[in-house]
Amino acid sequence: MSLVRKYDKTLRRRVALRAVWLPGTEVRVGDIMLLKNGALVSMGSLEDEHIDIRVSSIGEAQSLNLQSTGVSRSLIQNGANVTLAGLDARAEAELKLRFKQENSYFLRTPVLSGEGLEGAMNMARKIAKIPSWDHLKNYVVHKVWRASDFVFLGNLEGSSEISFKGSGEQVRNIITNGISSGLSVNGGHSINLEVMGKSGPIVMQVFRVKRNGEIF
């Protein structure tokens, strides 16, 4: 199974949401998506179909903490392995992440903020009247959740390792909420996919529209 399919499947199982791929790629509420090679890709917006959209905040959601099988981590401080609870916030520490399997990943985010489409049912009835609409393949982005700062690391093949160094508090931040500011990074060249210190969409909720205007 490819990395994007594996990652998306985990999100669907854990939080019943779809992956934004790559994490941080701009996706907006009301976008029209098609599934390509396991990833939902934006092909335009409902506004391109002359359908006005209204968007409102849906508040905050929990942070995301995902780590696939094949990924291990170790925390080192004062030359010894320590637990997260045992980290000294002021002393220098190191986080080592080892990716031992292909298509493995590591995601950490802070609390997510969301926005959603208002009047989705009414919108679906308008969509059903579009002659060219593909009712099986077209998805509409109903809700999107964004992170102000996050870390996503993906390993497509072979094995790799990356390490982060900084104060115990900075290392704790990347583990608990994905904030990587202030950390030095070693070994990142061996990671196939690396998104750090970026803000943007992480997960989304989508729907399709039946010919009779019902959502599914």
pLDDT at 87 over 80: yes
Domain boundaries, the chain: 3-207
Residue 60: what pLDDT?
A: 80
Tokens 């497509």 appear where?
A: 156
User: How would residue 146 be classed by pLDDT, with cut points 50, 70 and 90?
Assistant: very high
pTM: 0.91
Residue 61: what pLDDT?
A: 82
User: How would residue 188 be classed by pLDDT, with cut points 50, 70 and 90?
Assistant: low
